[in-house]
Structure 1
Amino acid sequence: MIDLTGRTALVIGSASGMGAAMATRLAAAGAAVIVHGRTESQVEQACRRLTETVPGAEVRRRR
């Protein structure tokens, strides 16, 4: 796997589906991930899932 430590990734539509899967993989590779979604509640849920799946992940919110 590639090392993305020190990089930041903005994943559009990362609150669900393929975007969420991509955000998870990027976070696992060490990237700080900016989670983007349609509603604040979707973004909050996605951030919670992401930090549970990838402990220690740097997650930021964007709506």
Structure 2
Amino acid sequence: MDISPGAMANLALSMQSANTNASVDTLMLRKSLNIASSEVSALMQSAPKLATSGTLGTQINTYA
């Protein structure tokens, strides 16, 4: 199977472009996950603390 040099160059360029697009997509996904993570952390920090002592809010009724 003979492939012309022009076709080989076009194939190499399209593969490079696909690789670049995948890298950009991965970078954008990583950035959006970091942003979501920081937002969830801020939300968890602002949530009221749960009860740690006593009977109110520290026990679960498992017979329900």
TM range (shorter): under 0.3
Instruction: Please tell me whether Structure 1 or Structure 2 has the larger radius of gyration of its CA atoms.
Output: 2
The TM-score, its normalising length taken from structure 1, stands at 0.27
Higher helix share: 2
Q: Which has the higher contact order (CA 8 A, sep 6+)?
A: 1
Structure richer in strand, relative to its length:
1
TM-score (norm: length of structure 2): 0.26
